[in-house]
Amino acid sequence: MSFHSIWLRPSRDDLKFLESIVTELAGRFASPKFEPHATLVPDMKRSADELLPLVLSLAVGRKPLDVQIENVTGTEAYFRSFYAALQKTPALMALKQDSRGISGEADSSTFLPHVSLAYGVAENALREMEMLRLARSLTGRRLCFDRMVIVSSSSETPIEQWIVKHEIYLAG
């Protein structure tokens, strides 16, 4: 059985905007291109078809999430080397809390909502300069996440093999 994750997908305009940043940074840092997203639940060893009714149930009655970018930063971790940190809004945290029934996570206190902008960028002066530049332009910007997607992905799956299996709109 393959691994699947649940992502929050930005609205079309926000997705295009974020894709342009990912593409720009991929060229600058020779890092991979990927679809920008906020991971709600990572790396579950469950099939997409098994997850679909659970995610549909999770989506019922939920409106699109309006979330503000708090900062642009990075860590040593490959998938968090360059990212936009997102505000922990009540609606986002309620969704994460409710997703625990799917993920089996004990609690959501370690949840770090973010949208990665580049993967695998080593810590250096150029990375720090780009983070500062993007922090100035992105901090305070609001993103709308209007879909949840079930994706064949994991930290062990090559990025070029990530495949969206199901898309569920948050329509309230």
* Beta pairing partners, 83: 73, 116
Cα distances (angstroms) measured from residue 104 to each of 30, 117, 133, 150: 36, 28, 38, 16
The answer to whether 110 and 96 are in contact (CB under 8 A) is: no
| CATH number of the domain encompassing residue 63 | 3.90.1140.10
**Domain residues for 36?**
4-169
User: What is the domain count for the chain?
Assistant: 1
Q: How many Å apart are CA 97 and CA 108, to the nearest integer?
A: 6
pLDDT 10s digit of each residue in the chain, 172 long? 589 999 999 999 999 999 999 999 999 999 999 999 999 999 999 999 999 999 999 999 999 999 999 999 999 999 999 999 999 999 999 999 999 989 887 778 889 999 999 999 999 999 999 999 999 999 999 999 999 999 999 888 899 999 999 999 999 8
Q: How many Å apart are CA 58 and CA 95, to the nearest integer?
A: 8
State pTM to two decimals: 0.95
Number of other residues whose CB lies within 10 A of the CB of residue 37? 25
Q: What is the per-residue pLDDT for 2? A: 85
Long-range contacts at 56-60 (CB < 8 A, ≥ 24 apart): 56/168, 58/95, 58/98, 58/99, 58/102, 58/148, 59/148, 59/168, 59/169, 59/170
Q: How many Å apart are CA 15 and CA 113, to the nearest integer?
A: 16
Q: What is the per-residue pLDDT for 79? A: 95
Q: What is the per-residue pLDDT for 127? A: 97
Q: What is the per-residue pLDDT for 36? A: 98
